[in-house]
Amino acid sequence: MNKQEAKNLIQKTFSSNFDANNYQSFIANLFKKYTAIDQIISGQYIKEAFKQFIVKYKRVGKFEDGENNVIDILEVYLKKTSTLEQARTAQRNFVAEYLKSRNKEAALVAFISPDSKEWRLSLVKLEHSLVVVNDKLKTKEEITPAKRWSFLVGESEGSHTAQSRFIDLLITDEDPNLKELEQAFDIETVTKEFFDKYTELFFQLKEHLDDLLKKDEIIKKDFEEKEISTVDFAKKTLGQIVFLV
C-alpha cells in the first residue's frame, strides 16, 4: 500500500459513521497476517455487569505479533442509553474482563453508539505488575488509562490525528508489534509533535516576515501604522490555519 492509498483508507474509515466493511479493511491492511473471525456474542453470553451498556460485540479477528503478544480485534455495540463518554469506565472494564477470561494481552476495539456520528477506537492493554502480599510476590493486573489509548473519530471529528499515527504502519510491509501500536495511540506524543512543528513554523514565518519588512518599506509602514508586530501576525496567521484544518 502506498502513501496515498493509506491516506484514502484512513479517511474513508475514520471520517464517517462507523462502517464494518471499512473498519475490517483497515484492520486487514494494518495487520497483514491477522486471522479473520466472524463471531457475534450477545444476550445471555454478555455478563450481567455489562448488559446495561452493551447490546452485543463481535470478534473481527486476532493477531499475534513477533513478540508473542496476542491482540484481539473487536466491535462493541453500545446501547442507546450508553453514550461513548458516559460509560467509558464500563467499556474499559468490559474489555479488561474479556482479556482476563481469554488470556490475551490487548484488544483493538471499535466502540459504536447507535444514532451517533462519532465512534471510538481504543487500544486496551492488560498489564501485569508484581506486588508484595503477605511477604509474597503476586501478579496484579492493571488496565492502561483509556484516555491515553483512544481516538474519537467519525463524521464530525475528522481523521487528521489517525492519519498522522497510522499511515506509517499501513505503508510498511511489516506487521506492527504491540509496542508500536501503543506509540500510535500515545496522545502525549501526538501533542508534543504538534507543538514542536507549530513552534518551528512560527519561527520560520516570523523570520520571513522580518525579511519582508526589511525589503519592502510600504509593507513595513503598514505594519507600523496598524501597530502590528511580526510576532503577533505570525501567531494570528498560524492560529487561523489550525482552526481551518
pLDDT by residue for the chain (245 residues), tens only, comes to 899 999 999 999 998 899 999 999 999 999 999 999 999 999 999 999 899 889 999 999 999 999 999 999 999 999 876 656 656 778 888 998 999 889 888 999 999 988 788 899 999 988 766 555 666 656 555 555 433 478 888 887 766 777 778 999 999 999 999 999 988 887 654 555 556 677 788 888 889 899 999 999 999 999 999 889 998 888 888 776 754 44
Cβ atoms 79, 52 nearer than 8 A: yes
Sort strands 70-78 and 106-112 into parallel, antiparallel or unpaired.
parallel
| In a shared domain, residues 214 and 97 | no
Question: Same domain for 106 and 225?
Answer: no
Same domain, 71 and 135: yes
Q: Are residues 90 and 197 in the same domain?
A: no
Could you give the number of structural domains in the chain? 2
At CB < 8 A and 24+ separation, what contacts does 18-21 make?
A: 18/110, 18/112, 18/119, 18/154, 20/75
Kindly give the pairing relationship between strand 106-112 and strand 136-143: unpaired
Domain that holds residue 238: 191-244
Q: Are residues 232 and 164 in the same domain?
A: no
- Domain edge (last residue) among 166, 185, 204: 185
- Tell me which of 185, 206, 233 is where a domain ends: 185
pTM of the model: 0.71
Question: Rounded to whole angstroms, how far apart are CA atoms 124 and 16?
Answer: 23
CA-to-CA distance for 107 and 60, rounded, in angstroms? 11
Per-residue cell: 121: 477506537
CA distances from residue 155 to 11, 118, 119 in whole angstroms, order as listed: 10, 6, 9
The residue from 185, 209, 234 where one domain ends is: 185
Same domain, 215 and 157: no
Say whether both 150 and 237 belong to one domain.
no
CA 66, 69, 73 angle in degrees (round to 5)? 110
Are 36 and 58 in contact by the 8 Å Cβ rule? The answer is no
222 and 150 co-located in one domain: no
Same domain flag for 200 and 130: no
CA 65/CA 21 separation, integer angstroms: 23
Same domain for 201 and 105: no
**3-state secondary structure (DSSP) of residue 128:** strand
- Mark whether 41 and 76 lie in a shared domain: yes
Q: Tell the burial category of 79 from Cβ atoms under 10 Å away from its Cβ (0-12, 13-18, 19+).
A: middle
pLDDT at residue 188, as a whole number: 56
7 and 80, same structural domain? Answer: yes
Instruction: Return the ∠ at Cα 190 (arms to 121 and 128), rounded to 5°.
Output: 60
Query: What is the CB neighbour count within 10 angstroms for residue 119?
Result: 25
